[in-house]
Structure 1
Amino acid sequence: MEGYRGSILMFFGLVCVVYVGINQLERRTLQHVYKHKQVVSKTNVFVTTEEPKKETEQVVVPRKKEKCKSPVSTLVYIKTHKTGSTTLRRLLRQYYERHHFTNAKTKEFFGPFVGGYPGRFHCIFKYPENATFSKSHTRFNAEEMQKCFPPETKYITIIREPWAAFQSGYDYYAKTFQDNKHCFGMPLTYVVNGQYMDVQTFLLKASILLNDSVPWYFRFRNYQSHDLGLDPMLTDKEEIEKQIQKLDNDLDLVIINEYMEESMVLLKDTMCMNWNDVRLSTRVSSRRKTPFKTDVHRQAFHKLNHIYHFLFQDIALYEHFNRTLWKRVEAYGRKRFAEDLEKLRAGLHRYKREFQDIDEEMDEESWSELVPGTDKWKAAMRNHMISNAGDCYVPK
C-alpha cells in the first residue's frame, strides 16, 4: 500500500515538473516573439508587451496652448527686473482698462511680496484667491500657477540682453539706494563693503563672492533666470538647457527688449489684441547713468562670466528665446509679419508721449499693510522669503 502511494506521489511530482518546464519555455518563447511586436487587443487598440526601461527619462508633455478667439482677460505677466518690464506692464494695464476687464470677475493679483517673492510663487500666498490678472514681480512657478489661475491663462514675460540688464541693475542699486535702506542696495553694498570700486573690479569680486547665502545675491547673478523660476547658481550646461526648454513650454510668449516692435506684433497675435492695444510709450528716466567704458567692461564681463558663470544662465536664456522669437516670426509668415510690423510702426508715429516710470519696490511698512492674512499666514510667507535669500525685506 505504501509503495502504491509513493508511486502516485512520484507521478504527480513528475507531472508538476513537466508542467512548470513547459510553462517557462512557453513564456520565454512569447517574450522573444513579442518583444518588438505589437499585439492587437480585443478592443482593437494596439498595445505592446514590452515593459518600459526603468532608466528611461520621463517625457514632458507639452502644455496645451489654445489659440485665443477674443481679447484675453486672464493673464500672468512675469515682470522681470531691469529689462524694460515697467513699460510693458503699463501697456498691459491700459489694455485691461480699455477692454473693461478689471471688474468683480477679473481680480488683480497683489504683488510682488504677497506671492512670496523672492521665493517661487505658491498658491497659498495668492491674494485675492480669485485673481485672474498678475503684472507684478512674482517669481515664476508654472506648476503652482496652473493650479490656481484659470486654464485659459496666458503666461508672458520679457527679457533683455544680459550685459545691458547688468548695467541697468548696477546703476539702479548703486545710485538710487546708497543708504541700503531695507536692503535695496544688496548685494552691491556687500561686495563693495564701503570701498570705492570701479565696474571691472566689482565684476571680479561679485563673481567670487555672490552665492545663495547672500541676501538678494541673484540681482547680480542670473537675475532674469531667477525671476523666471530657475536656480541662479546652476552651471551644468545640459541641465540649464533642459530647464530653459521646459520654460519655453510653460510660457506663451517671451518678449525681447531689443526687438520690442517685433515682439509687439507677436503679443497682439497671442492675446488677440487690436492695434490700439499695442501702442508703446516712450520711457523717460531722470536717473544718472553709470559711465561704463563699454568695450573694456564688456570684455571683462564676458571673460569673467566664462570663468565664474555668474551670468551663464541669463546668456543661455537670452540666446534661446532670441532664436525662438525669429522662429515664431517665420511661422507667422514673412509677408504677413512685414505688413503688420509696418502697421504697428505707423501707429507708433501717431502716438508719442512721455511718462515717468514708478518702480514697485516697497518698504517694510507698506509691505506689512498690504498683507491681508493672519499672523500665521504672514509668518509662513516670511519663512518662505527668508529661505530664498530675501530676509532683508522681512517686516520686524
Structure 2
Amino acid sequence: MKTPGCTSRYIKCLIIFSLSLGLIFLLGFFRMKNKNYIISKSHKELLIPSTSCRARTNVMFLKTHKTASSTILNIMFRFVERYNLTVALPAGQLVHLGYPKTFLADFVEEFQAIGQNYNIMCNHLRFNALEVQKVMAANTFYFSILRNPIHQLESSYVYYKDSVPAFRISKDVNKYLASPMKYYRPADYKQNIYARNIMWFDFGYNNNAKDNKKYIQAVLKKIERNFHLILIADYFDESMILLKHTLCWDLDDVIYFKLNSRSQDTVQTLTPESKERIKVWCSLDWKLYLHFNQSFWRRIEETIGLKELEKEVNHLRMRQKELMETCLLDQEAVGKEHIKNKALLPFQSGAANILGYNLRQDLDNRTLRTCQKMIMPELQYMSYLYAVQHPHKKRKQLGLPLLWPSFQEKMQLPAPS
C-alpha cells in the first residue's frame, strides 16, 4: 500500500524523503568533524577529564633551547594557519619575545593591556607567568619540552661556539667540562647563559643558583602549577602522541619533519667522565629533567597506556614516511651546501652545519604549499606569519640571504593583504 497523500506522487515523495535523510547525515557528519574545535570555557576544564574531546586552540608553548623545540614551533605555526588562529609574535624587528630578558607583554606585537588575547604563543622567551597571562586567554593550555642535559649541553656547545665566551675560549666540549670555571664567568651570565643550566634559565629561574634541595623542590612545584604538560625530547615521537591526546588534536596536527638539526660530523663525542661532569655542572637542569621524565611516563601510563602508545607511534612514523616520500627529493635532510632553494636555508650558527630539505619538483600547487610549510625554517616562517598577521607593519629584516618580496616569490606564498 502506498503512503497516504502520495498516491499520485509516490516516486517524488520517495526522492524527497531520501534527500532529507541525506541532509540529516551530512549535518551529523559536519557536527562530528567540527566537534574537536570547541574552545574550553574555563581554565579548570583543562584539567578535568571529559567524555567529549575538545581540541585546545589556546596554547602556550615555552620554547626551550636545543630541545627539538624548533620542530614543535613549526607544528604550532602550521596549526595556526590550518585553523586561522592568532599567534603572539615578536614586536618590531625582534625575532624572539625579548629573550634573554624576562618576558614582558610589550614584547608582543600590537599587545594592548586591555582586549587582545592570542590563541598561540610559541617563540623563544624567558618565562614570566604574570606577563604571559596578560597576553593569553584564561583557558590557555601551557606546555614545554626538556632534553637530557648530557645531550643538550653538547648541542649547545657546538651551536653557540662562536657567541658564548665560555665556549669560544675552550678547545672542545670535553676540555670545557674538565674545568668549566676556568672558562665560565657567572658575572657574564647574559653571554654565558647557554653554558650552564639553560633550561632552568628558560623557565625563568637563576641558572647559577646553588643546588639546594628545598629550593629545587619549590621550583619544581611552581613549574607543575604553571605548566599542564612537560614533554621529553629524547622520546620525541612518544611526546607527539601524548601531546595529540592531551590537546585532542589530529595526527596530522603533530606530524613533522625534524628541523634545525645538524650534521653528524659536527657532533662532539663526550667522554664518560664528561657525561658525569654535566650532571654536576648542570645539576639544576639534571634534576629538572629527572623529575619531569618520571612524570612524563607516568602521564602516558595513566592516559594512553604503553601498548596503545607503541601502536600510535608506529602510525605516526608511517604517516611521516609517507609525507617524506611525497614531499622530499632526497627523502632526508641535507647539508646547507646541498640546499637548492636558498629561501629554505636554515639559520646557521657556530660550528654546526644546520640541515635543511629539498622539495620534489613534480608537486601540484596544493601539495607544494603543504610540503613547504613542513620544511620552512623558524625565522622564515615567523617572518611570513608576521607579514600576514600585521600587513601594515614593517617587515622583519632577518639578515638571511633572502628578503621580502623575493622570499614570497621563491616560496610561491600568497602576498600579505
Give the residue type in structure 2 aligned to 1:74.
Answer: N
1:78, 1:156 within 8 Å by CA — same for their partners in 2? yes
Q: Which residue, out of 125, 132, 143, partners 1:138?
A: 125
Q: Does 1:199 align with 2:180?
A: no
Q: Secondary structure at the match of 1:254?
A: strand
Q: Secondary structure at the match of 2:214?
A: helix
**Map 1:96-175 → 2, pairs under 5 A:** 96-101=80-85, 106-110=86-90, 115-129=97-111, 130=116, 131-174=118-161
1:136-189 deviations in Å (ceiling 9; x for gaps): 111112232223310111112121111111111111122xxx4xxxxx344423
Q: Does 1:232 align with 2:207?
A: yes
- List runs of 5+ in structure 2 lacking aligned partners: 1-42, 334-355, 357-375, 381-392, 394-417
Other-structure match for 2:253: 277
The structure with more radius of gyration: 1
Other-structure match for 1:217: 192
2:46, 2:141 within 8 Å by CA — same for their partners in 1? no
1:368-388 deviations in Å (ceiling 9; x for gaps): xxxx8xxxxxxxxxxxxxxxx
Q: Which residue, out of 290, 295, 316, partners 1:344?
A: 316
**Map 1:227-266 → 2, pairs under 5 A:** 227-234=202-209, 235-266=211-242
> What is the CA–CA distance in structure 2 between the aligned matches of 1:231 and 1:143, rounded to whole Å?
18
Give the residue type in structure 2 aligned to 1:332.
Answer: T
Other-structure match for 1:312: 283
In structure 2, relative to structure 1, the CA distance for the partners of 1:107 and 1:173 (3 Å cut) is closer
Q: Secondary structure at the match of 1:163?
A: helix
Give the residue type in structure 2 aligned to 1:188.
Answer: F
In structure 2, relative to structure 1, the CA distance for the partners of 1:291 and 1:125 (3 Å cut) is closer
Higher deviation after alignment, 326-335 or 278-287: 278-287
Displacement of 1:351:
2.3
Q: Secondary structure at the match of 1:169?
A: helix
2:98, 2:107 within 8 Å by CA — same for their partners in 1? yes
Higher deviation after alignment, 63-72 or 163-172: 63-72
1:206, 1:220 within 8 Å by CA — same for their partners in 2? no
> What is the CA–CA distance in structure 2 between the aligned matches of 1:348 and 1:115, rounded to whole Å?
31
Higher deviation after alignment, 345-354 or 106-115: 106-115
Displacement of 1:245:
2.1
Q: Which residue, out of 254, 261, 276, partners 1:302?
A: 276
2:74, 2:378 within 8 Å by CA — same for their partners in 1? no
Displacement of 1:320:
0.9
Displacement of 1:210:
3.0
Higher deviation after alignment, 141-150 or 67-76: 67-76
Displacement of 1:316:
0.7
Other-structure match for 2:387: none
> What is the CA–CA distance in structure 2 between the aligned matches of 1:114 and 1:64, rounded to whole Å?
30
Q: Which structure dedicates a bigger proportion of its chain to strand?
A: 1
**Matched residues, number:** 279
Identical-residue share of aligned pairs (%): 26
Give the residue type in structure 2 aligned to 1:165.
Answer: Q
Displacement of 1:120:
1.8
Other-structure match for 1:73: 57
Displacement of 1:113:
6.2
2:143, 2:229 within 8 Å by CA — same for their partners in 1? yes
Normalised by the length of structure 1, the TM-score is 0.63
Displacement of 1:214:
3.8
Q: Which residue, out of 306, 330, 338, partners 2:301?
A: 330
> What is the CA–CA distance in structure 2 between the aligned matches of 1:264 and 1:126, rounded to whole Å?
27
Displacement of 1:65:
5.7
2:88, 2:108 within 8 Å by CA — same for their partners in 1? no
Q: Secondary structure at the match of 1:157?
A: strand
Q: Secondary structure at the match of 2:119?
A: strand
Q: Which has the higher contact order (CA 8 A, sep 6+)?
A: 1
Q: Secondary structure at the match of 1:246?
A: helix
2:198, 2:285 within 8 Å by CA — same for their partners in 1? yes
Other-structure match for 2:268: 292
Displacement of 1:271:
1.8
- List runs of 5+ in structure 1 lacking aligned partners: 1-62, 179-183, 362-371, 373-396
Give the residue type in structure 1 aligned to 2:105.
Answer: C
In structure 2, relative to structure 1, the CA distance for the partners of 1:247 and 1:77 (3 Å cut) is same
Q: Secondary structure at the match of 2:186?
A: coil
> What is the CA–CA distance in structure 1 between the aligned matches of 2:171 and 2:314, rounded to whole Å?
46
Displacement of 1:317:
1.0
Q: Secondary structure at the match of 1:139?
A: coil
Q: Secondary structure at the match of 1:108?
A: coil
CA RMSD of aligned residues (A): 2.9
Displacement of 1:278:
1.4
Normalised by the length of structure 2, the TM-score is 0.60
> What is the CA–CA distance in structure 2 between the aligned matches of 1:245 and 1:276, rounded to whole Å?
33
1:156, 1:252 within 8 Å by CA — same for their partners in 2? yes
> What is the CA–CA distance in structure 2 between the aligned matches of 1:163 and 1:359, rounded to whole Å?
25
